[in-house]
Structure 1
Amino acid sequence: MISIVLLCGYAPQAHNRNYYEMRGEAMWEVATDEQLIAFTFDDGPNANMTPLILDLLKEYEAKATFFVVGNRIDKNVDIIRRQADEGHEVANHTFSHVFFNGNQSLQAIDNEILQTKHKIEEVTGQDSPWFRPPGGYINDTVISSARKHGYTVTLWSWHQDTNDWRSPGVDAIVKKVLNNAHNGDIVLMHDNVRGSTQTYRALKIILPELKARGFRFVTISDLVKSKRSNEAHQGDVGE
C-alpha cells in the first residue's frame, strides 16, 4: 500500500513517484548490483514481539531498520537502546502514527516528526536520516517538513509490501517476500501487530532461505551506500 495524496480543493500538492525519486526527496528501493535487502519494521516497539524479532535478526547476522512511533518509546526504552546497540537503525515514523492524508499544516507535521526525532536522540544519542509517514501518505508538505529536519522520506518496494498488519497468514507473508526478492529491495513489515505472531514466524522461514540464496540483510543507510555509481547522481538520496 502506498498513497500519494492527490491535489483536490485545498489539499496539499502532490506528484508521482518518479518526481520525488528524481529529486532525491523520497525512495522506494535502491538500484544496486549487490545482493542486499533492507528489512524494515513499522509501528513498534512492542514489548513482546520486537525482542523476538531482534533475537532472530541476531541469529542470521541481519541488520534492519525500525521505524518507531514516538509515543511508544518511553515505555520501551530498553528495546530502543538494544536496537541501536546491536547495529540496527532506529528511524522516525511520527509521534502518534497520524496519516497525513488531509490538510495537516506544516507545523502539525513538524511537531509529529520533531517529537519522535528528539525522543530517538534522547535514548540512543543519534538519529537516522530516514522518515516514513504512516500509510505511505506523501505530498509536498510532508516532503518539505521531512527535508527541513534532515530526513529523506523512505517508503518500500511496491512488490515487497507484506501486508502483515492484516495478518494474512504466515504462508502469504513468506511467499510475498521470497517470490519477489531482488537486489536493493526495501521490505515492509511490522513489529507491532496486535495479537499476531505471523511476522515473526514468517521471518523464521524467510531469513534462512534468503541467506541461502546469497542475500545479506542491511540497514537503509548501508543499502543506500551500495547504490550503483551511475545512479548515485540522481537526487543525492540521504546524503
Structure 2
Amino acid sequence: MIARVRLVTATCALAAALAACATPQAPRAARPATPTPTATPSGPPTLAPGPEGLTPVFRSAARTPAKTVALTFDADMTADQGARAASGERFDNPELIAALRGLKVPATVFMTGRWAEEYPAQARDIGRDPLFEVANHSYSHYAFTGDCYGLPRLPEARMREDVERAYTAFRRAGVPDPMPYFRFPGGCYDRTALKALTSAGVTAVQWDVVSGDAFATDADAVARQVLDQVRPGSVVVMHCTRSAAPATERAVRTIVPELRRQGYRFVKVSELIGAAGEHH
C-alpha cells in the first residue's frame, strides 16, 4: 500500500486526488439508487437520470456470466500546474498509450481539459483512435465537494461551466467525439454536485476496482491489486500521468495477459453501460 502523501502546498492537490484512487477508501459520495441504462440511436449509451432527476452514476456492470472488464485511465492535470509542466514535469504517458495499442486493449481515458490544452496532439491522437474513447474529467481538476483530498473546491455555480469548458478544450484539440461520461476529480461527489450537472446530460462514471497505481513504483503490486479485485463487469481506475503514476505501463503489461488467460475481454465503458441496459 502506498504511503499517504502529506499535503504541504496547493500544488500537491493533484497528488492528493491521485492518492485517493490509490487506496481502497470509498469515494465520498451520495449513493442514489441505480438508474436505468438507456441508449439512443444517435449517440452512445447513457444512464437515465437518477431519483429526482439527478445526474446518474455508473460504477460497474451487473454481475453476469460475460467476463468483460473496462480499464479506465485518468489523464490528470490541474488548472494551476502549467508552471510545473513548463519546468519539465510530465503529466502525460505516451508509453502507456503505446502499450495499450500494442496489446490491442480498448480503454476509456478520462481527460481534464487542462491536460488536453497541455498535450493537444496526444489528446487528438487518442480521441481519433477507435481503440479508445475520451471522456470528461473536468477542466480544472478542482473538487466538486468540500474536503476532497486537499483539492481546491469549485463553487456550485461553476460546476457545469467547468465540465463544458473541458469539452471545449477537447474540441479545440481535435478530439472528434468525446463521450457524455464524467468522472469527478478525486471521485468526490454529493447530491449538490449531481444536481448541478443534471443539465449537462452526462453520466457520472466511478469504479469498483482501485488499482493503487498512484505514486506506485512496484508494478507487480499494482497488478496484484487489480487482479485480486476484478470481477465480471468491473471498472478499473488507473492513471495516464507519467510523473505521478510511473509504474502503470508495466502493471498493464502484466494485468492484460493474465486477465485474458482467465477469459476476460477488455471493453470500453460505453460497452459496459450498453450491456447494462440490455440486462436491466
Shorter-chain TM-score tier: 0.7 to 0.9
Instruction: Output the amino acid matched with 2:104.
Output: E
Contact 2:137 2:184 in 1 (8 A): yes
State whether structure 2 residue 120 is matched by structure 1 residue 73.
no
Q: Give the alignment partner of residue 139 of structure 1, picking from 190, 207, 210.
A: 190
Tell me what 2:149 maps to: none
CA distance in 1, matches of 2:76, 2:155: 25
Task: Identify unmatched segments of 5+ residues in structure 2.
Answer: 1-24, 36-49, 78-88, 147-152
2:143 and 2:154 in contact (8 A); partners too = no
Identity %: 25
The 1:47–1:222 alpha-carbon spacing in structure 2 relative to 1, beyond 3 Å, is farther
Instruction: Please state how far the C-alpha of 1:4 moved relative to its aligned partner.
Output: 2.7
The offset of 1:138, in angstroms, is: 0.9
Give the secondary structure class of the aligned counterpart of 1:66.
strand
Cα distance in 2, alignment partners of residues 211 and 133 from structure 1 = 29
Q: Check if 1:21 corresponds to 2:34.
A: yes
Equivalent residue, structure 2, for 1:3: 27
Structure 1 equivalent of residue 4 of structure 2 = none
Whole-angstrom distance in 2 between the partners of 1:204 and 1:230: 31
CA pair 125-214 structure 1, distance change in 2 beyond 3 A: same
Unpaired segments ≥5 residues, structure 1: 6-14, 232-239
What is the letter of the counterpart of residue 120 of structure 1? F
Q: Distance in 2 between matches of 1:42 and 1:110?
A: 19
Q: Could you say what secondary structure the match of 1:204 adopts? A: helix
SS in 1 for 2:118: helix
Q: Is the 8 A contact 1:146 1:153 kept in 2?
A: no
By how many angstroms is 1:133 displaced? 0.6
Assess, with a 3 A threshold, how the Cα gap between structure 1 residues 49 and 124 changes in structure 2: closer, same or farther.
closer
**2:160 aligned partner, one-letter code:** D
In 2: Cα distance, 1:111 partner to 1:30 partner: 29
Shift in Å, 1:105: 3.4
Q: Does 1:39 align with 2:71?
A: yes
| CA pair 225-181 structure 1, distance change in 2 beyond 3 A | same
SS in 1 for 2:73: strand
Matched with 1:152 is 203
Classify 1:116/1:195 alpha carbon distance in 2 versus 1 (closer, same or farther; 3 Å): closer
Deviation per CA, 1:6-57: give whole Å up to 9, x if none: xxxxxxxxx32xx242437101111143221111111348967532112111
Partner of 1:105: 155
- C-alpha spacing 1:230/1:211, structure 2 compared with 1 (3 Å): closer
2:237 corresponding residue in structure 1: 188
Secondary structure class of the residue paired with 1:34: coil
Q: Which whole-Å CA distance do the structure 1 matches of 2:74 and 2:250 have between them?
A: 17
* Counterpart contact for 1:44–1:66, Cα < 8 Å: no
Are residues 1:199 and 2:248 paired? Answer: yes
Count the aligned residue pairs.
218
Larger CA deviation: 128-137 vs 190-199: 190-199
User: TM-score, normalization: structure 1?
Assistant: 0.82
RMSD, matched Cα = 2.3
Counterpart secondary structure, 1:179: helix
Pairing 1:120–2:164 present: no
Tell me how far apart the structure 2 counterparts of residues 131 and 20 of structure 1 sit (CA, whole Å). 18
For normalisation by structure 2, the TM-score amounts to: 0.71
Q: CA contact under 8 A between 1:42 and 1:66: conserved in structure 2?
A: yes
TM-superposed CA distance for 1:147, in Å, is: 2.7
CA distance in 2, matches of 1:195, 1:224: 29
- Is the aligned partner of 1:129 residue 2:180? yes
